[in-house]
Copies of this chain bind each other. A is one copy, B any other.
Amino acid sequence: MKINSQGKITLAHGSGGSATRDLIAELFSARFSNPILDRLEDSAVLARPEGGIALTTDSYVITPLVFPGGDIGKLAVCGTVNDLWMMGAKPLYLTAGFIIEEGLDFSTLEYVAESMAREAARQGVAIVTGDTKVVDKGSGSGGLYICTSGLGSRVFEGVSVEKLLGREHLRDGDAVLVSGALGNHHACILSQRLGIDNTIASDCAGLGSMVRALLQEGIRVKLMRDITRGGLATVLNEFLREDLCIQLEETAIPVDEDVAALCGLLGLDPLYMANEGKFVCVVECDDTAQALKVLRRDELGRQAAVIGTVEPRSLGEPGVFLRTSLGGMRVVDVLYGEGLPRIC
């Protein structure tokens, strides 16, 4: 590979010339290799999917690029497949765009690409096309952005989720479940940024096995959302219809001890913290116990919990309430900003 003597990415690697070709061939194609990608065409030609499809996109701008529990590459793959699973679509194909800052260590890029390839294999998706740009030094935060898109099929393994999910199915009495403890990713990144010494790792993970299990068991899932930027509070407020509200039980919301400790220290609220391997779902009341069982059966769902219920709402009332551990009620609103240090 014609990298410069310091093992750094240079502007030439983004020129479209042979340096770009070599970078793509030896760093990306070598790791992501599959029959579709290997054609290196302007766009990937794919077979017609089985049923209706879902399409999603995300940009990843996180620093540090590598952190306990993951890295920007693993994050990009997991975040994208999770957005598809949340719409009941099985991820089939990913695209990957890399915006690289001149001067980025080649070894870092190799590490991230390696991690992406490993995670894509784990999640059962093929990276079928991509793009590489190199920007001037100082123009890229942390040296690397990754933009991924994902295409999934809503008919898979006998399961068809066509028209299954959506706000319109919500109703009074539905149960609200989370798949695990809240705040780990946010707490991890923040600790890294602030140099706080602890063992908190990001929860960065693909949610496919839990979602697949819920759908295959025939659980009547009304809505699913991965709990990322903005946290549970924001996600739940986005769920709502004007005629419904959600009542949460603070004592039922799982938060790991070390994360709770950090929150106490910095005055953070786990309800607004980002996760990268957790989702919240609303299921038919009668399916609550079975849904919980299905989630807890999964290694990633051991701490799954029923955290609240959907209830009627009168016009103008807030949409999300929290019954605190002391028995008081407080409104859980959407913040203007994050209300805490930015991590993405």
Contact = CB atoms under 8 A, between A and B. Distances in A.
Interface of A: 2, 10-12, 14-21, 40-49, 51-59, 61, 82-84, 86-87, 89, 93, 95-99, 128-131, 133, 135-136, 138-142, 145, 147, 149-152, 154, 225-226, 228-231, 234, 238, 274, 334-339, 342, 344
A42 B230 contact: no
The complex is assembled from copies of this chain, and their number is 2
Contacts of A135: 61, 141
A188 to B, nearest CB: 17
Contact of A83 (B12, B43, B84): B43
Contact of A95 (B46, B56, B133, B274): B56
B129 A55 contact: yes
A56 B129 contact: yes
Contacts of A87: 41-43, 45
Nearest to A10: B337
A57 B95 contact: yes
A141 B230 CA distance: 26
Contact of A55 (B43, B84, B97, B344): B43
B230 A16 contact: yes
B133 A59 contact: yes
Contact of A97 (B12, B89, B147): B147
A115 to B, nearest CB: 19
Given A48-B48, A55-B128, A141 B150 contact: no
Contacts of A89: 43, 45
A128 to B, nearest CB: 6
13 contacts: A11-B337, A12-B338, A17-B230, A42-B83, A42-B86, A42-B225, A57-B95, A57-B97, A61-B99, A97-B147, A99-B99, A139-B139, A140-B141
A12 B48 contact: no
